[in-house]
Chain A
Amino acid sequence: MSRFAIETVGLNHYFGAQAVVKNLSLQVPKGSIYGFLGPNGAGKTTTIKLLLNLLQSPSDTVFIFGKELNHNRIACLRQMGSLVEQPAIYAHLTGKENLINRCILLGIDKTKATEMLALVGLTEAANKKAGKYSLGMKQRLGIGLALIADPELLLLDEPTNGLDPNGIIEIRNLMLELTSKHGKTILVSSHLLAEIERTATHVGIINKGELLFQGTINELHNLSKPSIRIEVDDHATANNILSSNGAEIINEKEGTINISYTGKADMGNYNSILVKNGVMVYSIGTEKKDLEHLFLDITSKN
């Protein structure tokens, strides 16, 4: 039995001659919230469509709960709910009718539609035509449609698009509840690391079709090593003094120098050495690259 809800092995996909997914090996552990990150056009939606068998993938490259997707399409899809790009809804039907139609197709009790409307906060707009919904309401309906069959695995492609801050918090809490209380697995894509950071247990960073990082959120944090930022009156002299005392210079700008952090004691020593050699130290402290910058660093590498 696989411990991964999703596993891809060297997955490639081409649009004509252009490779849009390159040798992708995703591993989404069961019960995790997997933040699938990448800038626009990185290949996130294409990957999600490959996972749903909407785009053709080669055999033995996509596994859902250990089952090969192409040979077990129905069994795999039975365990999945999805929201891909903008919500797919019938504008001429009401929100409730959209959900009832999904119940018909999935062969489930139609009362589920009412439950879902309440869950995504659309009870009052249940009988309004979905075409007249705001973007946020459409997004909620899309999430309701993805959740209605109570799937084990949810694929949500930028689910907070168009939602107001309250809506974003609600979706975040819903994702946490679904994984912690109901043991679901969620793959959620986004181009905003800050959004993923608060909920994800695991992160995969993709750019130009290549997976550049995959691991737990803590492993991502660990990539961001702290540095010492020193503000001085004469950075050229300070640079010479610090270099001759074994400090690793990361970068220097007019008036500030960044060196590698090696410990509190070293930081105190560097300070006193500079002062003793006549360099005025205006400020000294540790600096850690935030995840947003780290994300930009990672995605700019390829």
Chain B
Amino acid sequence: MRSFFISLQSEFYKSRKTLAFWSAILLPLFICVAIALGFIFKYENLLKHPPQILWFYFLSPIVGIMGSLLLPVLVIYNTYSITNMEYKGDTWKSLFSLPLPKLSIYASKFLYIIFLTFLTMLLFAVLIIASGHAIELFRPQLQFGNFNPSEIIFKSFTKMFLSSIGIISLQFLMTLMWNDFLKPFGLGFLLTIVGSICANVGWKYAVYIPHAFPSLTVMNIMSSKKGIEFGIFDQAIANSLICGVLVFILGYFILLKKNIK
């Protein structure tokens, strides 16, 4: 267990100066600030809406784009960046020649990518709530404070985070197998588009396509009663977690047999 934690600590130490780490933090910040500025400068049309709708207007573009594109792309990018760090410096060989179990090295990298995604989702949730209240400071007419959206926001982002586990596991496996930018990125994008289309046309087998899970999750959130009555676990989330576990185990056995060149 100690090996796992020191590997995880090293992942943080190595990546803290990379774009992958900072994009996990700056992306939610940038998007929330941009939307908040829109609310502050174009507030006239929003005055007539009750606070619940104001929150919905703030949240829906983020959640909408997140499910169809942003979350899969973010996950594809983070996974690529974290593994590419090792390819770029030709450091896989030094990592695997250290007295550390292969499982620790493999699991710490996988969990670190999951952590980065979790961090982004958490920051989105926190920053959306903070932005709503900040808007009210500049435009007191927009009474964000009269409705508490915490539960729906945290539930939404928890659900979206869980929906990304399947994609993370597949992308992680692809980047371990191919020292290449195009294959994991290209295939990831293709699967995202296919998944998004399959989810949106309501194809019944979309629930088995990992790259469709975020789209299915967002559709589940948006179509829920009053926009708030949805459970965290549904078929897509369950499949995402099953996919994550199965591909993680499969990847480990592939790694055990793999020659580090």
Contact = CB atoms under 8 A, between A and B. Distances in A.
Interface of A: 49, 52-56, 74-75, 77-78, 80, 82, 84-86, 88-93, 97, 100-101, 104-107, 145
17 contacts: A49-B261, A52-B97, A54-B97, A55-B261, A77-B98, A82-B94, A82-B97, A88-B94, A90-B14, A90-B91, A91-B89, A97-B13, A101-B10, A101-B13, A105-B10, A106-B98, A107-B6
A105 B89 CA distance: 17
A159 B154 CA distance: 54
Nearest to B18: A92
A71 to B, nearest CB: 14
Interface string B4-22: 0011011001100110000
A56 B258 CA distance: 8
A89 B85 CA distance: 10
Which of B6, B93, B257 has its CB near the most chain A CB atoms (within 10 A)? Answer: B93
Interface string B79-103: 0000001001111111111111100
Contacts of B261: 49, 54-55
Given A56-B259, A90-B91, A107-B2, A101 B98 contact: no
A84 B2 contact: no
Contacts of A104: 6, 9-10, 13
Contacts of A80: 97
A54 B259 contact: yes
Contact of A77 (B14, B18, B99): B99
B260 interface: yes
A77 B100 CA distance: 8
Interface residues of B, number: 28
A90 B95 CA distance: 12
Contacts, number: 76
A88 B10 contact: no
Contacts of B257: 56
B259 A88 contact: no
Given A74-B101, A82-B97, 8 more contacts: A49-B260, A52-B93, A77-B98, A88-B89, A92-B18, A92-B85, A101-B10, A105-B10
Contacts of B94: 82, 84, 88, 145
B90 A101 contact: no
A75 B99 CA distance: 7
A153 to B, nearest CB: 12
A13 to B, nearest CB: 9
Contacts of B13: 97, 100-101, 104
Nearest to B94: A88
B97 A84 contact: yes
A106 to B, nearest CB: 7
Nearest to A50: B259
Contacts of A53: 96-97
Contacts of B90: 85-86, 88
Nearest to A86: B90
Interface in B217-260: 257, 259-260
Contacts of B98: 77, 105-106
- Nearest first, the 4 closest Cβ-Cβ pairs linking A and B are A88-B94, A78-B99, A54-B260, A77-B99
Contact of A55 (B10, B14, B260): B260
Nearest to A81: B97
Which of B10, B18, B98 has its CB near the most chain A CB atoms (within 10 A)? Answer: B98
A80 B93 CA distance: 14
